[in-house]
């Protein structure tokens, strides 16, 4: 059972009564008037009251001076008054039983000038003390389509179609634009909310609400930050287990984006690598743009998941094949290999001169013959190696002989695998597209790169569902007096073998230790004052004889005299590929595993892969394959292949050791971890534990 608490969203999105506070013709750029008429257009699905002490009547309705004069306590207040009046209005509403408020007003400390920061702190304290559910301030409202409650201040969203998609947006303006465009593509919606400054409810609360909501099956969002990461992850866990896909466009992945995220709503951007690791664990799909978010949602709406990762793509031109190969290569997709039986059947079916490949150019003859083209696609879908298929299709034009989607329906019924249609480029949408798309039962995705990314999104989500969730267990101990030698021994038992080494208290002892180990050796200082030995000049490598060790130890002793040297560590020289393995406790997201190229390269190139711990063999191999320098493990420029199996074992070993001991261990890093030739193992050359005390 989780101890995470989520704040109630129901008074906002499922209110029994509404009040528009600050109702006027001009206030808030006319937003109050639009909100009122949005509700009127829907037949006032809940009792709606107007509040303005300077008016007695407006839009044919009675206007009340304050909350005290209303005929009943109000569930949800839409607050559209100048910022300087908001706190007093909120205080009065809370005193009269107000349960929720959407505060459209701005100037509560957001932005570079932080105008109204003191006012904002007062409002935050009021919200926290009262427990009222608040959306905003500085937001553009929300909507609840299952109950026809439209609380977004524009007319363009009045006639949105109902459907399974719910949304969370940190940009109110983008929310309106995205939902209008997504409706053009044929999506239908349940709920949406613009978060604003999140003084009360935040993205974790909204996500949790949508997970619980029976009308919502797919959750989309554009977010700038996560204010309560642990609560957000708990909601994401529940979404994953409910098999409700979460599709996010997150700002802040670039340095410019991070700066914008800090100033736009007063939020602090989450480190993007850590965010990616969180998405990987909970099966969250990231999209690169809000355009992609539409196609991804269309793809998930089909409710079919692939059993594997093999793609089949059928086009009607050689150019489309070339574009497809580019996109598949860029996204790391894997094309299915057709069986000899499938190849023979297709080869006999297609016109003379058409070659059977994957991806395939079916040619102009089949392109103009929809029944035969779809029959060819059925053959692709029937191949055992194919897990997911996309076919180049289009909505019939006015002069086409075949204007109904029966052939696509037949294709869909021939298989239980995901099947999508795609076009080479985006184009305008109309009722014909939406009707044909709905009738066919498959989405028409726009552009080949977006199509491939949509297929890969389903492949990755399905893989995450098969993998399931592995969450870290509680640490096994609270305190430990583990010595460095005992720690090294335990790590060695988990696959992190240390080089032959000895501690020496002075230069003479270091020279003697080197003779006992055998030359060449490495010499390293031992000091509590210095954690990064190389940066401090405290490492000497490749020392070939006793005199060299004695000379270098004396030089280190002299040059680092003020660093409280305990002595020296003398190690056998190990030659191999340098890797870094680190595990640390992130204050927001929990234990993290970091793997990358070691030595100084991790700082120069940041060629690293992250996961939330724990990790298993499959996860670790996936992390290694993500590295830009992954080919170095396979042998490079005459080098022998490295011992990948030993490396995988070592990464899992140090991760599990940290998880079991993180009550007293804040971080552990092995840099470098030398990966020897295949079958020779690894050597943990430099292990740096950081204790919590």
pLDDT digits (tens, 9 = 90+) for 317-349: 999 999 999 999 999 999 999 999 999 999 999
Name the domain boundary from 553, 572, 591: 572
Q: Rounded to 10 degrees, what is the CA torsion of 379, 383, 389, 395?
A: 10
One domain for residues 269 and 144: yes
Write out the two tokens for 536: 């401090």
What average pLDDT does range 202-208 have in this prediction? 98
User: Residue 368 — pLDDT band, cuts 50, 70, 90?
Assistant: confident
Residue 522 sits in a domain whose CATH number is 3.30.1490.20
37 burial via Cβ count (<10 Å: 0-12, 13-18, 19+): middle
One domain for residues 462 and 596: no
User: Over 70: is that where the pLDDT of 262 sits?
Assistant: no
What is the distance between the alpha carbons of residues 232 and 405, in angstroms, rounded to a whole number? Answer: 41
Write out the two tokens for 198: 């999140």
Residue 266: its pLDDT value, please? 32
User: Over 90: is that where the pLDDT of 111 sits?
Assistant: no
The residue written with tokens 């297709």 in the block is 346
pLDDT in tens, 7-35: 999 999 999 999 999 999 876 678 999 99
The residue written with tokens 């430099």 in the block is 686
Write out the two tokens for 615: 């990790």
2 in a structural domain: no
Per DSSP, the three-state class of 617 is: helix
Closest CA to 660 of 600, 618, 613: 613
Residue 397: its pLDDT value, please? 55
484 in a structural domain: no
Across 366-494, where does the E strand assignment appear?
388-392, 419-423, 444-446
One domain for residues 292 and 362: no
4 in a structural domain: no
CB 207 within 8 A of CB 239: yes
Cis peptide before 520 (omega within 30 of 0): yes
What domain range includes position 648?
577-691
477 in a structural domain: no
Residue 650 sits in a domain whose CATH number is 3.30.470.20
346 in a structural domain: yes
Write out the two tokens for 303: 């409710």
Residue 691: its pLDDT value, please? 84
One domain for residues 308 and 271: no
CB 144 within 8 A of CB 110: no
What is the distance between the alpha carbons of residues 146 and 10, in angstroms, rounded to a whole number? Answer: 13
Residue 619: its pLDDT value, please? 95
Name the domain boundary from 269, 298, 327: 298
SS3 content of the chain, % helix, strand, coil (to 5): 40, 20, 40
The tally of domains found in the chain comes to 4
One domain for residues 144 and 237: yes
pLDDT in tens, 95-106: 999 999 999 999
What average pLDDT does range 436-444 have in this prediction? 92
Residue 26: its pLDDT value, please? 77
- The dihedral sign for the CA sequence 86, 89, 94, 95: positive
Write out the two tokens for 608: 């690293």
Q: Output b/e per residue, 230-260; b: 16+ Cβ within 10 A.
A: bbbbbbbbbbbeeebbbbbbbbbbeeeebee
One domain for residues 281 and 412: no
CB 222 within 8 A of CB 287: no
One domain for residues 360 and 398: yes
What value, to the nearest 5°, has the Cα angle with vertex 349 and ends 344 and 355?
A: 70
User: Residue 527 — pLDDT band, cuts 50, 70, 90?
Assistant: confident
Residue 257: its pLDDT value, please? 45
479 in a structural domain: no
pLDDT in tens, 33-57: 999 999 999 999 999 999 999 999 9
What value, to the nearest 5°, has the Cα angle with vertex 597 and ends 595 and 601?
A: 130
One domain for residues 30 and 154: yes
User: Over 90: is that where the pLDDT of 152 sits?
Assistant: yes
pLDDT in tens, 646-688: 999 999 999 999 999 998 888 999 988 999 999 999 999 888 8
Per DSSP, the three-state class of 434 is: helix
Name the domain boundary from 246, 272, 298: 298
One domain for residues 320 and 374: yes
Stated pTM of the model: 0.90
Residue 377 sits in a domain whose CATH number is 3.40.50.261
pLDDT in tens, 451-481: 999 999 999 999 999 999 999 888 876 556 6
What average pLDDT does range 251-259 have in this prediction? 57
What average pLDDT does range 138-152 have in this prediction? 96
* Distance of alpha carbon 398 from the chain centroid: 42
Q: Specify the higher pLDDT residue, 238 or 365.
A: 238
What is the distance between the alpha carbons of residues 67 and 74, in angstroms, rounded to a whole number? Answer: 8
* Distance of alpha carbon 102 from the chain centroid: 27
Backbone angles phi, psi at 190, to 5 degrees: -110, -70
User: Residue 261 — pLDDT band, cuts 50, 70, 90?
Assistant: very low
pLDDT in tens, 292-305: 999 999 999 999 99
User: Over 90: is that where the pLDDT of 203 sits?
Assistant: yes
Residue 268: its pLDDT value, please? 33
Those residues whose C-beta lies under 8 Å from the C-beta of residue 85, and which sit 6 or more positions away, are 22
pLDDT in tens, 125-136: 999 999 999 999
Q: Output b/e per residue, 424-457; b: 16+ Cβ within 10 A.
A: beeeebeeebbebbeebebbbbbbbbbbbbbbbb
User: Residue 2 — pLDDT band, cuts 50, 70, 90?
Assistant: low
One domain for residues 284 and 312: no
What is the distance between the alpha carbons of residues 211 and 261, in angstroms, rounded to a whole number? Answer: 26
265 in a structural domain: yes
Number of Cα atoms under 13 Å in the Cβ half of residue 473:
8
User: Residue 398 — pLDDT band, cuts 50, 70, 90?
Assistant: low
What is the distance between the alpha carbons of residues 74 and 51, in angstroms, rounded to a whole number? Answer: 12
CA separation, residue 401 to residues 189, 395, 435 (Å) = 34, 12, 17
Residue 89: its pLDDT value, please? 96
Across 68-151, where does the E strand assignment appear?
76-79, 100-103, 133-135, 142-144, 149-151
One domain for residues 89 and 207: yes
pLDDT over 90 for what percent of the chain?
Answer: 74
User: Residue 401 — pLDDT band, cuts 50, 70, 90?
Assistant: low
5 in a structural domain: no
CB 103 within 8 A of CB 139: yes
User: Residue 267 — pLDDT band, cuts 50, 70, 90?
Assistant: very low
One domain for residues 78 and 182: yes
What is the distance between the alpha carbons of residues 358 and 347, in angstroms, rounded to a whole number? Answer: 13
Residue 263: its pLDDT value, please? 38
Write out the two tokens for 181: 């465009």
């Amino acid at each position: 059972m989780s101890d995470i608490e989520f704040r109630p969203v129901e008074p906002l999105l499922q209110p029994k009564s509404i009040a528009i506070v600050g109702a006027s013709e001009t206030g808030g750029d006319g937003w109050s008037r639009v909100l009122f008429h949005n509700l009127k257009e829907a037949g006032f699905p809940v009792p709606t009251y107007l509040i303005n002490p300077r008016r007695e009547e407006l839009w044919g309705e009675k206007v009340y001076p304050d909350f005290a004069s209303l005929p009943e306590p109000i569930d949800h207040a839409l607050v559209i008054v100048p910022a300087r009046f908001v706190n007093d209005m909120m205080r009065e509403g809370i005193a009269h039983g107000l349960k929720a408020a959407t505060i459209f007003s701005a100037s509560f400390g957001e932005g570079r000038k932080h105008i109204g920061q003191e006012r904002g702190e007062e409002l935050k304290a009021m919200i926290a003390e009262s427990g009222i559910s608040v959306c905003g301030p500085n937001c553009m409202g929300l909507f609840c389509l299952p109950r026809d409650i439209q609380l977004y201040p524009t007319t363009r969203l009045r006639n949105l179609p109902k459907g399974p998609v719910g949304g969370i947006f940190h940009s109110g303006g983008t929310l309106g634009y995205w939902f209008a465009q997504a409706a053009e593509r044929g999506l239908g919606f349940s709920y949406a909310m613009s978060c604003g400054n999140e003084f009360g409810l935040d993205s974790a609360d909204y996500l949790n609400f949508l997970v619980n909501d029976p009308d919502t099956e797919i959750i989309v969002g554009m977010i700038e930050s996560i204010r309560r990461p642990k609560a957000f992850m708990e909601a994401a866990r529940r979404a994953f287990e409910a098999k409700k896909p979460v599709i996010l466009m997150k700002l802040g992945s670039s340095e410019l984006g991070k700066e914008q995220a800090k100033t736009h709503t007063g939020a602090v951007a989450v480190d993007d690598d850590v965010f990616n690791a969180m998405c990987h664990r909970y099966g969250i799909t990231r999209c690169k743009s809000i355009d992609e978010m539409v196609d991804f949602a269309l793809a998930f709406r089909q409710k079919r998941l692939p059993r594997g990762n093999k793609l089949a793509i059928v086009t009607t031109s050689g150019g489309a094949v070339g574009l497809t190969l580019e996109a598949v290569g860029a996204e790391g997709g894997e094309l299915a290999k057709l069986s000899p039986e499938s190849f023979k059947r297709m080869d006999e079916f297609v016109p003379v001169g058409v070659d059977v490949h994957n991806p395939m150019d079916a040619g102009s003859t089949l392109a103009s013959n929809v029944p035969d083209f779809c029959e060819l696609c059925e053959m692709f879908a029937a191949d055992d190696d194919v897990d997911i298929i996309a076919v180049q299709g289009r909505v019939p034009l006015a002069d086409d002989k075949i204007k109904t989607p029966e052939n696509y329906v037949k294709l869909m019924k021939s298989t239980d695998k995901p099947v999508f249609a795609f076009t080479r480029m985006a184009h305008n949408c109309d009722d014909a597209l939406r009707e044909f798309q709905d009738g066919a039962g498959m989405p028409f995705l726009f552009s080949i790169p977006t199509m491939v990314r949509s297929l890969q999104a389903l492949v990755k989500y399905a893989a995450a569902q098969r993998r399931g969730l592995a969450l870290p267990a509680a640490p096994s101990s609270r305190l430990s007096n583990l010595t460095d030698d005992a720690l090294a021994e335990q790590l060695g038992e988990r696959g992190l073998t240390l080089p032959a080494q000895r501690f020496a208290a002075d230069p003479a002892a270091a020279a003697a230790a080197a003779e006992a180990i055998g030359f060449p050796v490495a010499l390293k200082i031992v000091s509590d004052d210095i954690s990064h030995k190389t940066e401090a000049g405290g490492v000497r490598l490749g020392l070939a004889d006793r005199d060299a060790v004695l000379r270098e130890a004396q030089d280190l002793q002299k040059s680092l005299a003020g660093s409280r040297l305990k002595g020296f560590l003398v190690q056998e020289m190990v030659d191999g590929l340098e890797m870094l393995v680190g595990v640390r406790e992130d204050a927001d997201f929990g234990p993290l595993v970091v793997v990358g190229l070691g030595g100084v390269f991790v700082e120069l190139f940041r060629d690293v892969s992250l996961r939330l711990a724990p990790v298993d063999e499959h996860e670790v191999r996936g992390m290694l394959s993500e590295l830009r320098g992954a080919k170095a493990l396979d042998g490079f420029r005459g080098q022998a292949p490295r011992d990948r199996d030993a490396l995988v074992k070592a990464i899992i070993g140090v991760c599990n050791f940290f998880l079991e001991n993180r009550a007293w261990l804040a971080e552990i890093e092995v840099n470098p971890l030398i990966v020897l030739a295949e079958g020779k193992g690894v050597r943990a050359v430099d292990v740096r534990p950081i204790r919590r005390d």
